[in-house]
Amino acid sequence: MITVSEALDRLFSLVEPLGIEEVPLLGASGRVLAAPVEAMRDQPPFAASAMDGYAVTDARPGMSFDVIGEAAAGARFDGLVGAGQAVRIFTGAPVPEGATTVVIQEDIDRDGGRITITDRFSRGDHIRPAAGDFRKGDRIDAPRRLGPQDIALMASMNIARVPVIRRPKVALISTGDELVMPGEQPGPDQIIASNTFGLHALLRDLGAEPRLMPIARDTETSLRNVFGMVDDADLVVTIGGASVGDHDLVAKVAGDMGLDRAFHKVAMRPGKPLMSGRLGNAMMIGLPGNPVSAMVCGYVFIAPVIRAMQGLGREAVSRTTAPLVAPLEANGLREHYMRARLGPDGVSAFDRQDSSLLSILGEADALIVRPPHDPPRNTGDIVQIVRL
């Protein structure tokens, strides 16, 4: 058995970077920017009023001005503002030539075409300088996962099409005679396939393009057939059939089909029977079938692999620390990812840690990471956690 960090290194060495495609701005959120993009213009392209009020050359309480025109957003005042003159102005409008200050309308008394600045007058010119937000040529660097703020910024920069990394295509294969799909009627010895659905959701959140393959039955032929359908997947993920039982056929069939295996078995709990390698043009990861094992491996291995495929670096899932609010017994020889609850005073592991318990995983918002052979820990000890 290799360590978790050795397994992750081997997984990263199997990753092949994906190509680039161009998408419309509206389709770019959540995608990874593949190349730097540059602003096509200054923003704002002119000095703009930040408030509704009057543009003047100078402003002090008691000063009076003749209103000589109006500047609105989208329709500038074309003339020059001179001493003793004011232009009615609205938020976002270009500040007319000659004006140095916008006096907000709350600080003005107006009498027909004449205004006077009242005692309420407060400092500040209320002018946004030209290019105060960004300049033509300013860059957004790549790689970067694009969020809603980036989309707004690129829209403002007049970038209508965006170069992004192609979505990793992931084929998800559940294996086992006991499995039926959610919504189907299970037989007396059957259960519902859950892992593929949890992993599908995780992969979608990571910006991948997951595809559910038909459930492979516990025969070599069935498994071979489903492997044969994965088509152009970048990553094939099998679930179950990874261990040592008579019906655990994934390693055998993948091997027969040419899997160049990088490892099988990791000193990790849950997740021990994990395997990986290259299979044709794809990377393959074989996950253990126990539902919590599959999901924990999803967070610890698949998420970093998907990020690496997208060019976002080769980093383990991020960890932080928290104090224990209850003691823990000594750990065994595998790195243990304990389902845990994080509260204001610290973190506590659930009593029940069996790797079949999705209800506990659903309650968990963190995993406590125990190194191999970690001694017993007391309340108050600082432990490493992965937040879910």
Ligand X SMILES: Nc1nc2c(c(=O)[nH]1)N[C@H]1C(S)=C(S)[C@@H](COP(=O)(O)OP(=O)(O)OC[C@H]3O[C@@H](n4cnc5c(N)ncnc54)[C@H](O)[C@@H]3O)O[C@H]1N2
Give residues in contact with ligand X (CB under 6 A).
174, 176, 178-179, 191, 193-196, 239-245, 248, 270, 272-273, 288-291, 293, 355
By beta-carbon proximity to ligand MOO, the closer residue of 54 and 337 is 337
Nearest CB to ligand MOO, comparing residues 270 and 346: 270
313: left (phi over 0), alpha (psi -120 to 50) or beta: left
Is residue 199 helix, strand or coil? Answer: helix
Tell me the sheet residues that pair with 145: 32
Task: Find how far residue 134's CA is from the centre of its chain.
Answer: 25
Q: Does residue 331 touch ligand MOO according to CB under 6 A?
A: no
Compute the least distance from the CB of residue 373 to ligand MOO, in Å: 17
String of DSSP letters for 252-279: HHHHHTT-EEEEE-BSEES-TT-EEEEE
Please choose, out of 157-165, 264-272, 318-326, 338-346, the segment that lies near ligand MOO by the rule CB under 6 A: 264-272
Choosing among ligand MOO, ligand X, none, which partner's interface includes residue 179 (Cβ < 5 to 8 Å by kind)?
A: ligand X
From 55-63, 159-167, 267-275, 314-322, give the range in contact with ligand MOO by CB under 6 A.
267-275
In the bound state with ligand X, the residue whose beta carbon lies nearer, of 150 and 248, is 248
Contacts of 362 (CB under 8 A, 6+ apart): none
Closest separation in Å from C-beta 193 to ligand X: 4
Residue nearest to ligand MOO (CB): 270
Out of 198, 270, 298, 304, which residue is the one contacting ligand MOO (CB under 6 A)?
270
Q: Residue count at the site for ligand MOO (CB under 6 A)?
A: 8
Token duo for residue 130: 């030209």
Residue among 248, 346, 239, 345 nearest 296 (CA):
239
Of 15 and 369, the one with the shorter C-beta distance to ligand MOO is 369
Q: Which does 194 bind (CB under 5 to 8 A by kind): ligand MOO, ligand X, none?
A: ligand X
For every residue of 203-271, DSSP letters joined together read HHHTT-EEEEPPPBPSSHHHHHHHHTT-TT-SEEEEES--SSSTT--HHHHHHHTT-EEEEE-BSEES-
Nearest to ligand MOO of 102, 368 (CB atom): 368
* Residue 272 binds to ligand MOO (criterion: CB under 6 A): yes
Q: Which residue stretch of 68-76, 158-166, 247-255, 269-277 sits at the interface with ligand MOO (rule: CB under 6 A)?
A: 269-277
Write the single-letter amino acid at 181.
Answer: M
Give me the amino acid identity at 342: L
Q: Of ligand X, ligand MOO, none, which one does residue 196 interact with (CB within 5 to 8 Å by kind)? A: ligand X
Distance CA 345, CA 325 (A): 7
CB 102 within 8 A of CB 123: no
Residue 105 · residue 91 · CB < 8 Å: no
Nearest Cα residue to 212 out of 204, 200, 229 = 200
Cβ neighbours of residue 44 closer than 8 Å, sequence gap 6 or more: 128, 130, 131, 132, 133
* Distance in angstroms (rounded) separating the CA atoms of residues 197 and 183: 13
Considering only residues 168, 271, 286, 291, which one is a binding residue for ligand MOO as defined by CB under 6 A? 271
Q: Smallest distance from the beta carbon of 306 to ligand X, in angstroms? A: 19
Binding to ligand MOO by CB under 6 A, coded x per residue (else -) over 280-299, reads: --------x-x--x------
**Binding map of ligand MOO across residues 121-160, x = CB under 6 A, - = no contact:** ----------------------------------------
Is the CB of residue 157 less than 8 Å from the CB of residue 40?
A: yes
Query: Residue 148 or residue 245: which is nearer to ligand X going by CB?
Result: 245
Nearer to ligand MOO, 213 or 274 (CB): 274
Q: Which residue is nearest to ligand X (CB)?
A: 289
Nearer to ligand MOO, 88 or 272 (CB): 272
Q: Closer to ligand X at the Cβ: 359 or 379?
A: 359
- Within residues 336-355, the interface with ligand MOO by CB under 6 A covers 355
The three-point CA angle 314-318-323 to 5° equals: 155
Q: What is the 3-state secondary structure (H, E, C) of 84-126?
A: CEEEEECCCCECCECCCEEEEHHHEEEECCEEEECCCCCCCCC
Residues of this chain that bind ligand MOO (CB under 6 A): 269-272, 288, 290, 293, 355
